[in-house]
Structure 1
Amino acid sequence: MSEQTTTAPVVRHVDARHRYEILVDGDRAGLTAYRDRDDRRVFFHTEIDDAHAGRGLAAVLVQQALDDVRASGLRIVPVCPYVAKFLTQHQEFADITDPVTPEVLTWLDARLGR
């Protein structure tokens, strides 16, 4: 029998670590990472731990992260493939989404030390 979650997942913004985390029963189950550039939040990586895969947690995490971006008055740049795919299915964020450009990718690589 598979283990069932007893409480709803919780998403928290961990500003000091430049990410949003999703917690399941108090344990971190995944994250979406970003860096801020002016008024744009550049999302570059999303992951869900294997133990929590297949439960739709990435969608919950990204939805709440993007809701927070909107509430903060920022814009979205979806470098992360998962965030980019999510945005194609959720047009309600189209008005605050900017394209990924070579300049943004160069900036992000420098910022991340790649």
Structure 2
Amino acid sequence: MAEIKLNIQGEPNSFDVYDEDGKVGEMIFELKNQNLTVYHTEVDTEKEGKGYAKLLLDAMVNYVRENKLKVIPLCPYVHLQFRRHEGLYQDIWNKEHEN
């Protein structure tokens, strides 16, 4: 079973996903002025399609809601998910930074 760990001990900050093989993916972000800016989400090629990116997304969304933050989704994956499911994320999506 996969486990998500929050890494905010240094730069870059990340949500990391681990399974029985160790770390298999990460979501890189920055916290600044009540915004969590997501830059990159990546899962090891051999682990793609197993739902790990969605686990990272869910962990980030839960963290943002618990800490009353907003998300600036610069990561293509996160931005696509926010656009596809806008109703799920409208409360945390900082659209002031849209291109």
Task: Give the one of 15, 29, 35 matched to 2:8.
Answer: 15
* Greater relative contact order structure (CA < 8 Å, 6+ sep): 2
Query: What's 1:41 paired with?
Result: 36
Percent identity among equivalent residues? 21
Higher helix share: 1
Give the Cα separation in 2 of the matches to 1:36 and 1:14: 12
Higher strand share: 2
Unaligned runs of 5+ in 2: none
Give the Cα separation in 1 of the matches to 2:84 and 2:57: 12
For each residue in 1:14-47, what CA deviation from the matched residue of structure 2 results, as whole angstroms up to 9, or x when unmatched?
A: 0124110011126111000011121000001000
User: How much does 1:92 deviate?
Assistant: 2.0
The CA RMSD measured in Å over matched residues stands at 1.5
Question: What's the TM-score once normalised by structure 2's chain length?
Answer: 0.86
Unaligned runs of 5+ in 1: 1-7, 103-114
Give the Cα separation in 1 of the matches to 2:33 and 2:41: 21
Could you list the structure 1 runs, at least 4 aligned residues long, displaced by more than 3 angstroms after superposition.
none
Query: What's 1:110 paired with?
Result: none
Question: What's the TM-score once normalised by structure 1's chain length?
Answer: 0.76
Query: What's 2:93 paired with?
Result: 97
Q: How many residues are matched?
A: 95
For each residue in 1:53-99, what CA deviation from the matched residue of structure 2 results, as whole angstroms up to 9, or x when unmatched?
A: 12121011111111111111111110001011111233222111112
Matched, 1:31 2:14: no
Question: Larger deviation: 63-72 or 88-97?
Answer: 88-97
